Amino acid sequence: MTSTATELVVTAWPSCAPRLLRPGLRTVEDYADYTRDGGYRPLDDPDALLDQVDSSGLLGRGGAAFPFGRKARTVRDAARRGAQTVVVANGEEGEPASVKDRWLLRHRPHLVLDGLRLAAALVGARQAYVYVSDEQAAAAVNTALTQLDPAVLGDVGVQLVTVDAGYVAGEETAAVRRINGGPAKPTDKPPRPYESGVAGLPTMVSNVETLAHLPYIQRHGADGFRAVGTASSPGTFLATVTGAGRPPVLYELPYGTAFSDLLARHGVHPGEVRGVLMGGYFAGLVNTDILTATLDHDAIGRLGSALGCGAMSILTDDCPVAVAAAVLEYFDRENAGQCGSCFNGTAAMSAVASALRDGVATQEDVDRLQRWSEVLRGRGACGTLDGATNVAGSLLRQFPDLVARHLANDCPSCAAGAYRARRPYEVEAVAHHE
């Protein structure tokens, strides 16, 4: 069984007015439309806005869910000590199962640029970058920049930087390294970009969806932002939902949405669900415990997983063992080749998972996979090795009975045609809107 890319559906969530998506938007939103809708509002007091951002509880949407206000204050404090500072809109969407960043850049580039100029004001930066790999996204951003009245950006210069697509290219130190003229590969930490980034300056690297929330906070304040979501996961997030034999859908969901409600909206019966691949590939697998969970950071964390970039692949006919093997094969191909622990570790874990899928692994192989999933965590320069250990560890922890059946070469799903894909649940950004 192989995966095929189909047209993306973009739709609003019932009873929640969209903040980032625009239902019915079929082309690129231009400057006139965006400003007519209230975009590019003057900012008289960056400190007051930063206070609102702090109170809003805005979390990063790139995967780590780090508080945006805390990161911004760190870089701003460097500016107040006399340092020049830089901001980077990271639109290099390395997760093939995620499409949110490409959609925003292709269709609402002014929303991203508005967020970027607000972020620059918050941290006192005079130089900003938009970092992308997608050609259509780059073209949309470039056109948007030519439409801008220079007064909108003030003394902030914005530069578009393109990069070849790759899983590791979106890691924040890889983005900085590429902007600095090097290869788009991660570097050891410390220092982190907020300490020494572009040109050695304190740099705030933020995911484009994170930045796209800033104009809403400027317009509606912290209380307006918190009108939906949960106390610890406020606001909305973009969720790319794939799998279950359905076309991929990009939803804007309030945090705290019941997964069962998402299933119903997506047209999947709970009895069909075997599990979910969470956070793109990075956060690993969860079993049917997801059926009673809500979609927020606390609830998914209690399942031993994470929302990550908001991408979820629903497994129905596909065997979780075969899916894990396909994802680990991807990590083996996509690692940067810089760290021996990652280069060798992803290959070793991929080999065992593939043998398990094919019914030829032994208990000793599984024991080694368990050990590697624990001892290799945190040993790479970026998150690739951690993603691989998450997938391996979650498979063994969440699906022990299925692992045992594969050890006995007794999986009807895989016998009928195991799931295989070079880029599992990949999503194209070609879209129609409901």
Give pLDDT tens digits for 102-160. 999 999 999 999 999 999 999 999 999 999 999 999 999 999 999 998 899 999 999 99
- The pLDDT assigned to 4 comes to 42
CA distance 375 to 341: 10
- The pLDDT assigned to 25 comes to 79
Q: Which token pair is 433?
A: 């809107």
Is it true that the peptide bond before 191 is cis, omega within 30 degrees of 0? Answer: yes
Model-level pTM?
0.95
Query: May I ask the CATH class of domain 18-225?
Result: alpha beta
Phi, psi of 206 (to 5 degrees): -130, 140
- Work out the end-to-end distance of the chain between its first and last CA atoms, rounded to an integer number of angstroms: 29
The answer on pLDDT for 5 being more than 50 is no
Greatest Cα pair distance in the chain: 68
Of residues 183, 192, 149, the one with CA closest to residue 164: 183
What is 26-54 written as a DSSP string?
A: -S---HHHHHHTT-S---S-HHHHHHHHH
The answer on pLDDT for 91 being more than 50 is yes
The pLDDT tens digits of the residues spanning 372-408 come to 999 999 888 788 999 999 999 999 999 999 999 999 9
Angstrom CA distances, 285 to 68, 279, 305, 393, stand at 27, 9, 7, 9
Using an 8 Å Cβ cutoff, are 356 and 393 in contact? Answer: no
- The pLDDT assigned to 6 comes to 62
* Mean model confidence pLDDT for the chain: 94
Q: Which CATH number fits domain 320-415: 1.20.120.1770, 1.10.10.10, 1.10.1740.10, 1.20.1440.230?
A: 1.20.1440.230
Using an 8 Å Cβ cutoff, are 186 and 381 in contact? Answer: yes
Which strands make up the sheet holding 157-162, listed edge to edge?
Answer: 157-162, 127-132, 86-90, 203-207
Q: Which token pair is 202?
A: 């304190």
> Cα 284 from chain centroid?
13
Domain boundaries, the chain: 18-225, 320-415
User: What residues are paired with 128 via a beta bridge?
Assistant: 87, 158
Phi, psi of 31 (to 5 degrees): -60, -45
Residue 295's pLDDT band (cuts 50, 70, 90)? very high
The pLDDT tens digits of the residues spanning 196-231 come to 999 999 999 999 999 999 999 999 999 999 999 999
The answer on pLDDT for 339 being more than 90 is no
Residue 15's pLDDT band (cuts 50, 70, 90)? confident
The answer on pLDDT for 67 being more than 50 is yes
Helix axes 363-375, 400-407, angle to 10 degrees: 140
Of residues 93, 11, 23, the one with CA closest to residue 310: 93
Share above pLDDT 70 across residues of the chain, in percent, rounded to a whole number: 97
Angstrom CA distances, 45 to 41, 58, 124, 176, 214, stand at 12, 19, 12, 29, 14
CA distance 36 to 33: 5
